[in-house]
Amino acid sequence: MSDTDNTTQKYQFNAFMLLFLLSNVQIGVGIFGFQRYIYNESKHDAWLSVILIGIVTHLIMWIMIATLKKHESFDLFDIHRSLFGKWIGSVISICLMIYFIINMTAIIRTYIEAVQSWIFPDFPTWLLSLILLVLMVYGSLGGIRVILQLSFICFFLILGTLILFYYPLQYAEWRRILPIYNTTMQHLLSGAKKMGFTIAGFEIIYFVYHHVKDKNKVMRYAQGSILFTNLLYLIIMIISIVYFSENQMPKTIWGSINLLKIIKYPFLERIEFIAIPFWMFVVVPGLMMLAWVLLRGTSKLFGWNQKLTLYGLAGVVFIASIFFQNRRQIDQLNDFIGEFSIIVSYLYPCLLFVLTYAAAWWRNRKGSKA
Amino acid sequence: MSDLVETLRTQFSSIFHDNTTVIIRAVAHDTAVCYLPELINIEQLNKFVLTPLQQVHWVPTSEQLKRYVMVGEVRTMESIADAIPLMMKGWVYVATPHTGVVVNIANIPNRQIGSPQNETTILGPMLAFNESLETNTALLRSSIPNTALHKEAFKIGNKRNTSVHLMYMTDQVEESCANIVRQRIQQLYSNDITGSSELMHLIQDNDSSIFPQMILTERVDLASHSLLEGKIVILVDGSPLVIIGPSEFTDFFLTTEDRYMGWGIGTFLRILRMLALLISVYLTPAYVAALTFHYEIIPSSLLVSLIESRSRVPFPPLFETLILELTMELLREAGARLPTKVGQTMGIVGGIVIGQAAVQAGFTSNILIMLVALAALGSFATPNYLMSSTLRLIRYPMVIFAGLWGSIGIVFFSVLATIHLIRQTSLGQPYFYPIHPSHKSSTLDQDVLMPELKGLTSTGHRIRKYAKSFRLSSLWTGKIDN
């Protein structure tokens, strides 16, 4: 424990950095085409689903931080060990790490799919995968500070992109949003569940909390970050609903990119040719964050050499990403990850919360008895 | 008496291997002066050393010698071997059979203090450093007459024994940075260096990076300004450039003139320079990417004129751009190497003859010539010469990646460069941090100059905060820092 304490001393950062870090992990490739999935469930009330899941996310974030506070300066791997014991705890941690590896593959593969369907149909999958992984490895070697700084840059990139969405608003048909709440609660909820997959990723608070210097401010900035993400998705969702027609929407795989497509300047058009490549700035820190979590996990559980693990991880993800050949397989992968991420990001934190408080209560009782 | 001269002569000739380098002259009673004639001030020698020594009619002790010689700096030296390093710097050795003193009447050839030649500004002080360490230290001392200005002296090199001065404000400096510099300079005591730029490469954090991590400047106002900001200034004897560290990436794009201009124009100029940075790095790669892969992003009306101008060019855009960029570099390099008078002719030959002829010969398109010239202008707008060279250099991989993978290539290299910049440090301090992880104020804050709050202190003096900077954090903390 003592040597990890030393390393964390070096890399502590202020809570306000969470504002950029969390939103960056949440906003990844999912933003390219999340609209369709939610629209399929709750139709033109999809934006209500977004609000619904947003509120739930705020709650879950509160639960997560409350759990972490109870455990003082542990990260999730330590929590597993203290709650479930060495063996079961390690198994759960390993499951989680496998989930993160699959998640990385899904992110890379989805990004490549976007590039191939919009910019370069013939761009080799392995090459683009290699490009992303080279960047990930190079950045990860610099530690968490690189992730933090990059996510700060991304924050402004995302804000800049958001401004671009004023353009499709000119063609908005606001009546499409009416009538409000024209669906059943069940559809609304299943829409919210689909949305949950898109904004999942905030569970990394379990791992970075340990590194935050002023822990009393974590709640403020983490919630702020969630709010930013929720507002961003809400705005894009509403714009999509008023822009696309009823029949168009379910067929639009890349909703957000389609929105950008119509932007025209006297010297520039087809902004998506610039926006998709530049989204690499957003994708890479997300990958680096997951890699960072994985490296911490493997060095904590197995004591593996971090650098070698990083290269190995890049190799595994590389092979996994070229494994997926077509759109259908990627969709299947995303669906699988989607189910899983709901469990990891929304259900599992609740379980941990309950267990943590139960354990504390149990210990208290035992203590008072003795 | 002649005995003393004879022994000195044999001793010196065995060290210097000849009899002519050192002049040995007997004065008065059993006393002799030895010096290297090129390095001393003859007038001072006559007036303050020879004349007073004429009155000595016994064998003087070193204390008596010190009293007779009317020069500020006198040191006792027991042996010739000790005296020689100082004699090589223009000191005179006054010897008696038993003892000796060295007297500083050096007259090292030196340049007058001039105005900055390479970092010119329109407003502001016109003082530049020169090659003399003493002059440079004096310039900084007179610019900040404060006891907090601390100086540490070091010697580097076996042969040249170069003096290096480390200066900083004791109340402002980050002590860890000063320690790093001290350690690194002490580690290279056996390296012979010829100038401050060489020292900079030896002590910077990561010398394999192509980005300069410390600023070299000839401007006194920039150095003293940096001192007041808590930075460390390193002066090297024989070099008109001082090293300023730790420096951040954005520091390379700021000039002191921005502050002399007032906040509005100053901020405008800084934004302009950032724009120039983007233009110089991205303009030609964007051309290559757009014309090789992404015709779609160019509106059709613009595309027509682009294609028209490219219709006669037989090369792919990548080659066309590389050829023209290299020509531009050649012109710049030739212009820098040629004497000034010929250099102007060079500009005409390069700009008009080659540019015009290349288009007419169907080598390149008009538009590309314009873009390459704009990109060059952009890189020349960077105030720091090392940084502007780096920017020109990173354009080549950018162009090549743009030619290979289009916009993906451009962004790939941008992310790579960004990560690289974030990973660098300057004297242990972060080099490229858009936002500092432990302070809420970012470096971006300091780049926005805001109108200064003018007010009156309790004693009725008008206060004017030095380098008032705008902090984003003040927007929400409600605190106005003054």
Nearest-10 Cα torsion for A262, A267, A271, A277: 170
Q: Are residues B448 and B425 in the same domain?
A: no
Instruction: Note the Cα B312 to chain centre separation in Å.
Output: 46
| pLDDT of B455 | 42
pLDDT at B481 over 60: no
Nearest-by-CA chain A residue for B436: A149
pLDDT band at B435 (very low <50, low <70, confident <90, very high): low
State whether B265 and B406 are in the same domain. Answer: yes
Within a domain: A4: no
Please count the structural domains in chain B.
Answer: 4
* Rounded Cα gap, residues B401 and B64, in angstroms: 76
**Angle (CA) B453 B459 B461, round 5°:** 45
Nearest to B375 by CA among B421, B327, B336, B420: B327
Label residue B474 by pLDDT band (50, 70, 90).
very low
Cα B383 to Cα A219, B62, B222, B244, B269: the distances in Å are 43, 54, 12, 15, 11
Instruction: Name the 3-class secondary structure at A174.
Output: helix
- Looking at the fold, whether B300 and B369 belong to one and the same domain comes out as yes
Buried b (16+ CB within 10 A) or exposed e, B89-99: ebbbbbbbeeb
Please report whether residue B116 resides in a domain.
Answer: no
Same domain, B69 and B202: no
What distance in Å separates residue A257's CA from the closest CA in chain B?
14
Do A278 and B433 make contact, defined as CB atoms within 8 angstroms?
Answer: no
The reply to whether A57 falls in a domain is yes
Q: What is the helix (H) or strand (E) element at residue B152, kind and residue range? A: strand B149-156
Residues B286 and B404 in one domain: yes
**Å from B430 to nearest chain A CA?**
10
Determine the average pLDDT of the residues in B453-480. Answer: 44
Mean pLDDT of the B469-476 span: 47
User: What radius of gyration do chain A's Cα atoms show?
Assistant: 21
Mean pLDDT of the A117-143 span: 91
DSSP conformation class of B225: H
Q: Are residues B266 and B380 in the same domain?
A: yes
Which pLDDT score is estimated for B468?
A: 42
Confidence (pLDDT) at A290 = 92
Residue A348 tokens read as: 């599992």
Kindly state whether residue B253 falls inside one of the protein's structural domains: no
What per-residue string of b and e applies to A48-67 under the rule 16 or more CB within 10 Å gives b? Answer: bbbbbbbebbeebbbbbbeb
Q: Do B299 and A269 touch (CB under 8 A)?
A: yes
Work out the minimum CA distance from A212 to partner chain B, whole angstroms. Answer: 10
Provide, as residue numbers in chain A, all residues whose Cβ is less than 8 Å from the Cβ of B404: none
Mutate to test the interface with B, among A13, A134, A152, A272 (most CBs of B within 10 A): A152
CA A301/CA B407 separation, integer angstroms: 41
**A149 contact residues in B (CB cutoff 8 A):** 422, 432-435, 437
Structural contact between residues B372 and B324, judged by C-beta atoms closer than 8 angstroms: yes
Does B432 contact A149 at a Cβ distance shorter than 8 Å?
A: yes
Of the candidates B57, B83, B104, which is a domain's last residue?
B104
**Does the residue B128 lie in any domain?**
no
Please state, as a whole number, how many other Cβ atoms lie within 10 Å of the Cβ of residue A78.
18
pLDDT band with cut points at 50, 70 and 90 for residue B260: confident
In this predicted structure, what is the pLDDT of residue A235? Answer: 93
> What DSSP state is assigned to residue A177?
G
CB B426 within 8 A of CB B246: yes
Residues B273 and B221 in one domain: no
- A131 in a domain, yes or no? yes
Distance between CA B45 and CA B91 in Å, rounded? 10
* Selected residue with higher pLDDT from B79 and A260: A260
pLDDT digits (tens, 9 = 90+) for A160-181: 888 888 888 888 888 888 888 8
- For residue A307, count other CB atoms closer than 10 A to its CB: 12
Interface test with B, best of A17, A113, A131, A141 (most B CBs within 10 A): A131
- On whether both B294 and B395 belong to a single domain, the answer is yes
For B342, the domain range is 260-430
Kindly state whether residue B33 falls inside one of the protein's structural domains. Answer: yes
- For residue B463, what are the β-bridge partners? B455
The residue type of A297 is G
Q: If you write DSSP's letter for every residue of A14-63 in order, what string do you get? A: -GGGHHHHHHHHHSSSGGGS-HHHHHHHHGGGHHHHHHHHHHHHHHHHHH
Chain A residues close to B371, C-beta within 8 Å: none
Residues B67 and B212 in one domain: no
Average predicted confidence (pLDDT) for chain B = 82
What's the rounded Cα separation, in Å, for the pair A240 and A300?
A: 44
Does residue A355 sit within a domain? no
Is residue A153 in some structural domain? yes
In a domain, B125, yes or no: no
Q: Note if the pTM is more than 0.90.
A: no
- At B244, give phi and psi (nearest 5°): -115, 125
Is A119's CB within 8 Å of B294's CB?
yes
Which range, of A133-137, A222-226, B331-335, B445-449, averages the lowest pLDDT?
A: B445-449
Interface size A-B, in CB pairs within 8 Å, comes to 102
**Of B279, B291, B282, whose CA–CA distance to B403 is shortest?**
B291
pLDDT tens per residue, range B171-187: 888 888 899 899 888 88
The pLDDT of A269-294, averaged and rounded, is 91
Q: Based on the domain organization, do B347 and B286 belong to the same domain?
A: yes
Cβ proximity of B324 and B369 under 8 Å: yes
Backbone angles phi, psi at B458, to 5 degrees: -65, -25
In a domain? residue B120: no
Question: Cα B257 from chain centroid?
Answer: 17
Nearest to B368 by CA among B407, B410, B303, B320: B320
Report yes or no on B126 lying in a domain: no
Q: Note down the domain range covering A113.
A: 9-350
- Per-residue pLDDT, averaged over B431-435, amounts to 73
* Percentage with pLDDT > 70 across chain A: 96
The domain tally of chain A equals 1
A69 occurs within a structural domain:
yes
Which chain A residues contact residue B410 at CB under 8 A? 277
Tokens of B475: 């927007």
CA neighbor of B119 nearest in space, from B198, B231, B202, B215: B215
Which residues of B lie inside 8 Å of A (Cβ-Cβ)? 293-294, 296-299, 302, 405-408, 410-412, 414-416, 418-420, 422-423, 430, 432-435, 437-440
pLDDT of residue A8: 42
Q: How far apart are CA B181 and CA B204, in angstroms?
A: 9
In a domain, B459, yes or no: yes
Q: Is residue A368 part of a domain?
A: no
* Cβ partners under 8 Å of residue B255, min gap 6: B119, B121, B222, B269, B383
ipTM confidence score: 0.91
Q: What is the CATH number of the domain that holds A211?
A: 1.20.1740.10
Q: Is the same domain home to B70 and B23?
A: yes
Answer yes or no: do B378 and B462 share one domain.
no
Query: Is B297–A13 a contact, with Cβ atoms under 8 angstroms apart?
Result: no
Give domain status of residue A328, yes or no. Answer: yes
